[in-house]
Amino acid sequence: MSSVSRRALRALLTAVGLVAVAALLAACGETKDEQPASSGSGNSSSSSSSSSDSGEANPSAPIKQGLKTVSIPKQLGNPYEEFEHSGIDEALKELGGSNKITGPTDASASSQISFINAAVQQKADAIIIAGNDPGAVAPALKQAAQRGIKVVGMDSDVAPDARSVFVNQVTTQLVGENQVESIGKQIGYKGDIAILSATANATNQNAWIDVMKETLKQDKYKDMKLVKVAYGDDDDQKSFQEMQGLIQAYPDLKGVISPTTVGVAAAARYLSKSPQKGKVKLTGLGFPNQMRKFVDDGTVDEFQLWVPKDVGYLAGQAAAALVSGRITGKEGEKFKAGRLGDYTIGKNGEIVLGPLTTFDKNNIDDFDF
């Protein structure tokens, strides 16, 4: 081979080698550029989820400044809901943050979904929700959580895997047992009773009613019979009509339990003008200010409740603790809830406010809410 040919061959091989190296570098460069983008969208989400789900809480972490929450009641215009959610406002103001109350005007199963989606668009730090239906809102809440928004259920729980914690007024067991005992002692533990509930899909109402049914199986209540569960949909007029319907359909009715503030007030209003006043006993969950006149005129002997504003206040404090990393939602974690003191997270992320209060003619004037 001539020297010219050898030089030409070397030049050709050099050129081919340079092209191969360039191609390899380009490929490495492309992988390097794409990998962070991929890990940024995938790994960061996974890391965030892992931190939220299995990270360790730091009880001494500072509360995030400018904290923003959105609270979604079951239904706007419901006095109980408004009073309860005002507690969230109080907690967030105390912590240097802000809360926006927004929600549907009806309590249907899917009515809260658009408000959850709006909260995501508004980049809230946390959503605090009293669920109308545990399953209907779950997909939207899970999407919110994937965006880094903390979810707190309160009053009426959502699906447990769609929130971090749930603030319960009292234990479900205690509400059901206490309500049955309240009506039982008023009717001498004998006779037909009915329940006037809110909506048929309300999580808390259904859980309480299940406990009531189980409690009625106890020997102490063997002479009491549950004849009907009626639904007033947390609407004053419908609840009034349902109470009227119960009285007319069951002439031997001795007592009614209405574990809803709207329902018990409407039922008392009907009874107060009915010939059955004093003959059909009524108990339930109500506001002292709403029920005072019915206690005073003898329509109602006693009813029960917790302080609704404290439920919201505790939920607001829990949301702030979650966002700030003081808690993650694990059982056994403790946190300080402002004026309410120290709380411990229980099984399935449940945080229980405290015991029921019974109101009657002897103490009702001691309360103003």
Query: Domain residue spans in the chain?
Result: 3-49, 68-170+308-351, 186-305
Q: Which two tokens stand for residue 133?
A: 């239906």
In this chain, the answer to whether the domains covering 68-170+308-351 and 186-305 adopt an identical fold is: yes
Residues in the chain: 369
Q: Give the model's confidence band at 362: pLDDT under 50 very low, under 70 low, under 90 confident, else very high.
A: very high
Mean pLDDT of 303-307: 94
Q: Per-residue pLDDT for 1 more than 80?
A: no
| pLDDT of 149 | 98
- The whole-number pLDDT of residue 216 equals 98
Mean pLDDT of 33-42: 30
Burial class (CB in 10 A: 0-12, 13-18, 19+), 222: exposed
Residues in a beta bridge with 150: 126
Q: Which CATH number describes the domain made up of 186-305? A: 3.40.50.2300
- Condensed to tens digits (0 to 9), the pLDDT of residues 223-237 reads 999 999 999 999 999
Detail the DSSP E strand segments found in 87-149: 98-101, 126-129
Q: Which two tokens stand for residue 246?
A: 């119960």
| Cβ–Cβ under 8 Å, residues 73 and 82 | yes
Output the CA–CA distances (angstroms, integers) from residue 80 to 73, 101, 263, 352, in the order listed: 10, 14, 11, 18
User: Among 38-42, 89-93, 188-192, 245-249, which stretch is predicted with the lowest mean pLDDT?
Assistant: 38-42
Torsion angles phi and psi, residue 261, rounded to 5:
-65, -35
Provide the pLDDT confidence category of residue 195 given band limits of 50, 70 and 90: very high
Residue 93 predicted with pLDDT over 80? yes
Place 321 in a pLDDT band, splitting at 50, 70 and 90: very high
Architecture of domain 68-170+308-351: 3-Layer(aba) Sandwich (3.40)
Residue 43: pLDDT above 60?
no
pLDDT tens per residue across span 112-142: 999 999 999 999 999 999 999 999 999 999 9
For residue 308, give both structure tokens: 């609704």
User: How is residue 150 written in tokens?
Assistant: 């903390």
Average pLDDT score over residue span 34-38: 30
Q: In this predicted structure, which of 15-29, 130-144, 354-368 has the lowest mean pLDDT?
A: 15-29
Q: What percent of the chain has pLDDT over 70?
A: 85
Local confidence band at 368 (pLDDT 50, 70, 90 cut-offs)? confident
What's the pLDDT at 214? 98
What's the mean per-residue pLDDT of the chain? 88
Q: Please report the pLDDT score of residue 37 as a whole number.
A: 31
Q: What is the pLDDT of residue 212?
A: 98
